[in-house]
Amino acid sequence: MSRYVIDAYAWIEYLIGSEMGIKVNEILEQENVEVYTCAVTVAEVISKVAREKQDVEKAYDLLLSNSQIVNADEELSKKTGVLHAEMRQTEKDFGLADAYVLATARKLKSKVLTGDPHFKDLKEAVMIK
């Protein structure tokens, strides 16, 4: 069984149907794969879709139908805050949303499916580009 937490970068590529998005789709179609999305990532993706004046409901439905949403509860938020502080020591622009994704992946013992260069040197990362 493979587990992935998909970040906003990968979801956006999936939604626009790019070459990287095709890689995301290939993982979604695999047998024995569990796919998760952090609730914070849902907000990131919906914000991007709304700013691009695209169909927010369609994007939202695609996220919910293709992954399990992981809520940002107080325990995950605490771990995320500590992780964010640690990551900012070496990656000055490592975002809080990225920290939520990484903390979620570590909690679920899964990989992060992404194209975001902030993740490129992390053992949890599976890069789509």
For residue 74, the domain's CATH number is: 3.40.50.1010
**Residue 124 included in any domain:** no
**Residue 120 included in any domain:** no
pLDDT in tens, 105-119: 999 999 999 999 999
Give Cβ neighbours of residue 86 (< 8 Å, ≥ 6 apart).
none
How many alpha carbons lie under 13 Å from residue 35 in its C-beta half-sphere?
20
Per-residue model confidence (pLDDT) at position 66: 97
**Residue 12 included in any domain:** yes
pLDDT in tens, 77-106: 999 999 999 999 999 999 999 999 999 999
**Residue 128 included in any domain:** no
How far is 52 from 32, CA to CA, in rounded Å?
34
**Residue 65 included in any domain:** yes
**Residue 129 included in any domain:** no
pLDDT in tens, 20-48: 999 999 999 999 999 999 999 999 999 99
Query: Between the CA of residue 105 and those of 2, 30, 56, 124, what are the distances in Å?
Result: 12, 19, 25, 8
Domain that holds residue 65: 2-112
Q: How many domains does the chain have?
A: 1
